Structure 1
Amino acid sequence: MPASPFPADFLWGVATAGHQNEGDNVDSDTWFLEHVSPTVFREPSGRAANGWELWESDLDLVAGMGLNAYRFSVEWARIEPADGEFSDEALTHYEALVDGCLARGLAPIVTFSHFTSPHWFAKRGAWLDAEAPALFARFCGVVMDRFGDRIAIAVTFNEPDLPEMLTWADLPAFVTELERATLEAASRAAGVERYRAGNVMLPEDFPAMRAGMTAAHLAAKAAVKERRPDLPVGLSLAIVDDAAAPGGEALRDRKRAEVYEHWLLLARDDDFVGVQNYERITHGPDGPLPPEPGATVNGMGTAVEPDSLRGAVEYVHAVSGVPVLVTEHGISTPDDAIRAAFIEPSLVGLEQAIRDGVPVLGYCHWTLMDNFEWIFGYSAQLGLHSVDRETFERTPKPSAAAYAAAVRARRAPAEVAAAAATEA
């Protein structure tokens, strides 16, 4: 078999998120925002993919693909639906999920905040509230006390850099206006001065929100480490592979400084940093360059570029100096043939990064199945399985088999090498 840079303990997984998969997350800020008027959300999440009920068969899908890791989030709003009141039912559910992973040979990668927060927390101003870091750390401590001894990796925050990144996405002005109108409607409906959320932010709040999430990450990490000093803790970042055409270096570097630098410097004191990569953008002197004529494009309108994963992880490690965990990587497209063809060359690029010295702990594809994609509702498809919106039946796409085959080819040489080393 060919030599592989992936060690036998490399984590091969898929990533999901509670609100996007579970359904009926009624005590969350996002659920509340989905139901005010006007709202920036295209449609409400409803039952999502009904993952709250179908979690066992979903884990069977993951194990059936030959993977050894599963990334999911614990929903703060389910566990603490009211300030200081913790749900034993929700904790029991997530504990069963962790144990279900272990029973199937899957390392549980647990995200503590995947954009959503409790409704009561949003009424306080979310990450603008001075007590937010302590409240988040309290929640993380409760989770750790219940089943923290059995999880493999802890991710405090999912993409806290996304608001700044979206300022570079050239979104129409009406999107920002509708976000503002959504929060104003939510504030009125909740009877508070400022209803705030982690996935709908106002530009003037960015600095204070960033400061609040930074303090919350540090407080959460301390709570986790207090209970398990050995548990790897980090956060995951949205990372575009920003390239530069001649004359575009200054623009690329300014984006990196505005969007990523704060978090990558913070991550220098963490055990790893999560990379979530979906595209490459090439900057010219006057802005991003359009795709080449005839190029295959993704749902964001940028060219499909499998090598963007290599570029993203190399950049992140160069700045942070810590190991990388690919916590999300995928492609938004209704054409699964594009997704299936995208996986193998992406992993070839990741192999090259590892050979060039980047310590990579694992790779999680986004996502196990088509789900609720935030303000876009159910219009975007990124799953390895389709989901019937009425029956919730999961159907594997060709990309699921393509990913399983790519992993199988890489796990086998690593496991053979590990066995040989043990015998020696």
Structure 2
Amino acid sequence: MRSVSLVVTRKLLAQVLVVCLAASALIAGSAHAGAQTRAVEGFHWGVATSGFQVEGSNADSNWKRHVDGAASRGEADPVNDAVDFWNRYEEDIARAADMGVTTFRLSVEWSRIEPQPGQYDEQALRRYDDILSTIRAHGMTPMITMVHYVYPGWLVDRGGFLSPDAVEAFGRYAELITERWAGDGTMWVTFNEPLVFFSHELRIGLVGLHQFNAFRDNVVAAHKLGYHAAHRADPDAMVTANEAYLPAFAPATDDLLLNHIRGELDFIGIDYYYGIALDNLTTIRAAWDDFAGVRPQPEGMYESIVHYAKHFPGMPLYIVENGLPTDNGHRGDAIDRGDYLRDTVFWIQRAVADGYPVIGYNHWSLVDNYEWGSYDSRFGLYQVDVLTDPALERRPTSGVDAYRDVITRGGVPEGYRPVLPVGMCSLGTIPDTCLNPVDVHGPLATLAG
């Protein structure tokens, strides 16, 4: 039976591929023929970082405890001082500004701000004052993440985000930081990827699978407190909780999270990294942290935008995270970071030209960082060899010049064609992407910062 099933499967797959190729040939050059090129003013060109991953000098937290234990057993890289953003923020912020970046995403560390319940570290708060003032002095808008997977050790002792007082404790913290830093266009992310947050907590042994609903309900309640705190501090605040786009699973993840908070979202924050297609099943490698082994599909960015535009009509869309991983600066397929970045922006411009309301894009990340147990996966526009270079030198990748050029132009120029091949039939949208593939010859919007 097994051999017969394989034969049938192969025949069906061959037939599907023939249909896809035929449909692509018939449709190419015809889709969107009547669309007009658009110019979008005030587009956010951003970079992204996260406190625990770049700051160094980390305070007691759920992740600090886990990493210290895992590193002592040889199961993880020690975080050490990461890239020491805590002390080198001025130079890194200047690097972002030099590329023309207009929005700088960072997270502030609750564990650093409130090292003990009800006790606030004024020195840490003043350092964040300086960091945010430096961002604004360079003409950039801060996008502040309240919790990027990390929270204080004292909350771990109480049960983490399953604790009966977790929501209330978060609410006090959110009030403090929004009163202090809201205004002047500051944008807010309450929780980074809440569903991935749960998977991280599962990974480090702080929750069980059977506790998902309780965890999710507490995060939803906490998000709402953070949302309203930001709006009390600034009625014009833009607040979200970003979520990772997972092809084929996005409707389910919407039901698990975003549909619970759609009344407390000012924009949809999208994280897009991976696609999956009939001719590209490499995404499975991410399951065992072989991120650089995944073949990127920049055109999946268009698919993610269409999904959220349809499921959350009328909501602005912002690509809060997107980037290309390498294995210590190398990729087996030799894909270039600059090419990947330009291709990704191309697909955003195609989406905007087709009328989808994308208002911003953040590249993850400004510098290499600690990827939750390892320094091997490199996403930085600037490469930093944390474990081997005591000087922590920032070395520009091809992405730096590419991003500078993209921002200056307001995107890639008319006539640009993607370098990376388009996947055949995204498994997230079969049969639509087989029968109606996105036209690479369509118009491009100009995205002026």
Range into which the TM-score falls when normalised by the shorter chain:
0.7 to 0.9
- SS of 2:189's partner is strand
Percentage identity across paired residues of the two chains? 29
Q: Distance in 2 between matches of 1:323 and 1:331?
A: 24
Give the aligned partner of residue 190 of structure 1. Answer: none
1:356 to partner: Cα distance: 2.0
Q: Does 1:277 align with 2:272?
A: yes
Give the C-alpha shift of residue 263 in structure 1: 2.4
Note if contact 1:264-1:320 (Cα within 8 Å) is conserved in structure 2: no
Contact 1:264 1:319 in 2 (8 A): no
- Superposition TM-score, scaled by structure 1 size: 0.80
* Greater C-alpha radius of gyration: 2
Distance 2:255 2:198 in 1: 11
Deviation at 1:267, TM superposition (A): 4.5
Per the TM alignment, residue 357 of structure 1 is displaced from its structure 2 partner at its CA by: 2.1
Check if 1:162 corresponds to 2:156: no
Match of residue 331 from structure 1: 324
Q: Any residues of structure 2 matched to 1:7-406 within 5 Å, and which? A: 7-36=40-69, 42-150=76-184, 152-162=186-196, 179=203, 183=205, 196=206, 201-240=207-246, 242=247, 252=248, 255-269=249-263, 270-282=265-277, 289-290=281-282, 299=291, 301-321=293-313, 322-333=315-326, 334-335=329-330, 337-375=335-373, 377-389=374-386, 390-406=390-406
Any runs of at least 4 consecutive aligned residues in structure 1 with deviations exceeding 6 A, and if so which? 411-414, 416-419
User: Partner letter of residue 318 of structure 1?
Assistant: K
The CA deviation at 1:290 is 4.9
Q: Distance in 1 between matches of 2:395 and 2:368?
A: 10
Unaligned 5+ residue runs, structure 2? 1-35, 284-289, 414-443
Question: Aligned partners of 1:317, 1:114: CA distance in 2, in Å?
Answer: 25
RMSD value over aligned CA atoms? 3.0
1:289 CA displacement: 3.9
Q: In 2, are the aligned partners of 1:13 and 1:71 still within 8 Å (CA)?
A: yes
1:403/1:335 CA distance change after superposition, 3 Å: farther
Q: Secondary structure at the match of 2:124?
A: helix
Bigger drift between 128-137 and 270-279 goes to 128-137
**2:221 is matched by which residue type in structure 1?**
A
Q: CA deviation at 1:266?
A: 3.3
How far does residue 207 in structure 1 lie from its aligned partner after superposition? 1.9
Structure 1 portions without partners, runs of 5+: 167-174, 184-195, 243-251, 292-297, 420-424
Amino acid at match of 1:268: R
Report Cα offsets for 1:208-253 as digits up to 9, x if no partner.
111111111011111111221111111111113x1xxxxxxxxx3x
Q: Which whole-Å CA distance do the structure 1 matches of 2:187 and 2:74 have between them?
A: 33
Specify whether residues 402 and 41 from structure 1 end up closer, same or farther in structure 2 by C-alpha distance, changes over 3 A only: farther
Over 3 Å counting, the alpha-carbon distance change for 1:280 and 1:73 in structure 2 is same
3-state DSSP class of the match of 1:12? strand
In structure 1, the residue corresponding to 2:65 is in which secondary structure?
A: helix
- Find the aligned partners of 1:237 and 1:227 in 2 and give their Cα distance: 24
Output the CA distance in 1 between the equivalents of 2:127 and 2:120: 13
Query: Structure 1 residues 290 and 332, CA, compared in 2 at 3 Å: closer, same or farther?
Result: closer
Q: Is the 8 A contact 2:62 2:153 kept in 1?
A: yes
Question: Using a 3 Å threshold, how does the CA distance of structure 1 residues 45 and 164 change in structure 2: closer, same or farther?
Answer: closer
Aligned partner of residue 351 in structure 2, secondary structure? helix
Amino acid corresponding to residue 232 of structure 1 in structure 2: M
Q: Give the superposition deviation at 1:57.
A: 0.5
**Which deviations, in whole Å up to 9, do the C-alpha atoms of 1:114-157 show, x marking residues without a partner?**
11001011111121112212211110111122222345211101
Distance in 2 between the 1:93 and 1:41 partners?
32
Q: Is the 8 A contact 2:113 2:125 kept in 1?
A: yes
CA spacing shift, 1:290–1:143, aligned 2, 3 Å: closer
